[in-house]
Amino acid sequence: MALAAAAVAAAGPWDSGQRKAERDWAVAQSRTGGALHGPSAPRTPTPAPSAAGVLSALSAPDSDPPNAGTVSVDLKKKLGPLLDDPALGETRSASVIDATTGEPLYERAAGTPMTPASTVKVATVAAALSALGPDHRIATTVTSTADARRITLVGGGDATLGRSGLSALAEDTARALRDRGITKVELRYDTSLYTGRREHPIGPNDNIAPVVALMADQGRLDTSRSGPAPRSGNPAGDAARVFAALLRERGVRTSAAPEPGKTPKASTTVARTYSRPLSDLAERALTDSDNDIAESLARQTALAAGEPASFEGAGRAVGAELKKLGLPVSGARFADGSGLNRQDKVSAALLTALLARAADPARPELRPVLTGLPVAGFNGTLRSRYADDGPAAGLIRAKTGTLTGVNALAGTVVDARGRLLAFAFMAGATPAPDTAQKALDRLSAALVP
């Protein structure tokens, strides 16, 4: 455990006891929220000193890296029998590469697209960071008509908006209205930023709220902050009602219950609040496997690309952004941003190439892909795993993926030679989730020196 704790401290995701994104947020907090505060000045993230450059092995899209036929004999002996475990079902694939050079060290059906479950969040997060940058923040806005008699709460797609953000927004809105002598308004809420269907194809589900541009506390009907929870069927309307109550507390009444409606033309902005930086959202999406944030980031990528902010537009935008990064996207499909859709398809080779790209000092904007990965036996979706693989605790970081009959694991580890390895193990038609997860844990633990 001492070795594991030292490894976590030395390699992250903590930086002097705090995630870098969280530290940056603490510094920038005074610049967030409030009336008409613009986002903070761009900052250039510092690459981790241990991350060496990824060479041309990953530079050309859909191309095989040099020495693609070479396979580590030791890894073949270690991983082959573990990958043959019946607990991994009928179909399985694997990719282990040297993240510095891109050299494949072990492969089995590495280029075969498979259903990734939540490991697709690695792709979603990488695309958003690449398209928007780690300092991007998502705005929620209040606009007003010229006579200030009608105001509109405009959703910008912040899936992390909570009561504190709405309170700051209400405070600034009420102040602006009172300055004009207005104490009663008509309230509307605008969710038109997103297009297409609201419900995820899996239907109403405790794992995700309706995908809308405005929500508070992710539409949760309990006090939880992560994991499954009962969800509202109308999170935008609920957020608007909370906002109306907060306005009343500050001396501004609404003439009726808030109703949906687009912002009128010639409206002016009276208040605005921002999400935390995208780097922080990315880490949270990966550590907690947060489906609401993942779908939000996919749509932010679509907006940046000029695509409709829908499931379809987001899928095209994510794929296009990954292709710009020179990644092997042949056969990939991004049907959603969260991985809940079984129509998602990615290869193990794409996942390891993504992780290697995130380790490249030339791509510091992608670092939250690595710092957000759960740490074995310590946090996130890996907190309670690796109980039977003691040496792996604290040394493996990986994104989990779980659907009925689908299990996957993709992450990084440092081997006995000091190389940063990126790995991805994917399994389909698995007979039971618990045994499949343990089999995946044993595979990744075999990479630990």
Q: Among this protein's residues, is 255 annotated catalytic? A: no
Q: Which residue among 20, 95, 121, 144 is the active-site one?
A: 121
- Report residue 88 as tokens: 């991994």
| Both structure tokens of 16 | 């002097």
Residue type for position 280: D
224 is catalytic: no
121 is annotated as an active-site residue:
yes
What is the C-alpha separation between 185 and 97, in angstroms, rounded? Answer: 60
* Cβ partners under 8 Å of residue 9, min gap 6: none
Which has the closest alpha carbon to 396: 343, 441, 341? 441
Helices 20-28, 278-287: inter-axial angle, 10-degree rounding: 140
Closest CA to 13 of 418, 398, 422: 398
Q: Which of 95, 118, 275, 296 is the catalytic position?
A: 118
Integer angstrom CA distances of residue 69 from 60, 104, 290: 17, 8, 37
Measured in degrees and rounded to the nearest 5, phi and psi for residue 189 equal -135, 140
Please pick, among 289, 338, 347, 444, the residue that the annotation labels catalytic. 289
At 93, phi and psi to the nearest 5? -145, 160
- Who's near 336: CB < 8 A, 6+ residues apart? 120, 200, 201, 295, 298, 311, 314, 315, 344
d(CA 135, CA 396): 27
Residue 230 CA to residue 206 CA, distance in Å, equals 5
The answer to whether 337 and 356 have CB atoms below 8 angstroms apart is no
Query: Which positions are catalytic?
Result: 118, 121, 289
